[in-house]
Amino acid sequence: MTDTELYDSYKVLFDVAKEKFDKELKTKFNSPMEGYAYILKAVEEAGEAQNYNSGIIEQLWLCIKNNRTGGVQSVISKMEDATFNLIYGAIQTWVMLEKYKEEVGVDTYNSEIFNTE
């Protein structure tokens, strides 16, 4: 699979996630701070899944090292679930970033807001 094909696959997941989020939220961000809160939540959820996988990888190694086939299957199943959540969280983060750019803009914090002139 080429990088372009892989990106296109991710884009399909992105579009589905964005549609789902738009249906659930039904409104725009009320402020840049609210947009930030949604981005933060998505990042934290992805981080939790990554932390889970990081913690359980040692269990996988111990099962492999001790030739515990049943244990390997169980750990891999748990890691697959956590990896799905990680991917979902990453795509949700992408959706929140795009939504923020669309609704709030990336040039929100200019000199007028911070009175830096």
For the stretch 34-43, pLDDT in tens is 989 989 999 9
Give the start-to-end residue ranges of the domains of the chain: 3-105
pLDDT at 105 (0 to 100): 79
- Please report the DSSP string for the chain in residue order: --HHHHHHHHHHHHHHHHHHHHHHH-S--SSHHHHHHHHHHHHHHHHHHHHHHHHHHHHHHHHHHTT-HHHHHHHHHHHHHHHHHHHHHHHHHHHHHHHHHHHT-S--S-HHHHT--
Can you tell me the mean pLDDT for 52-76?
91
Say what the pTM is.
0.71
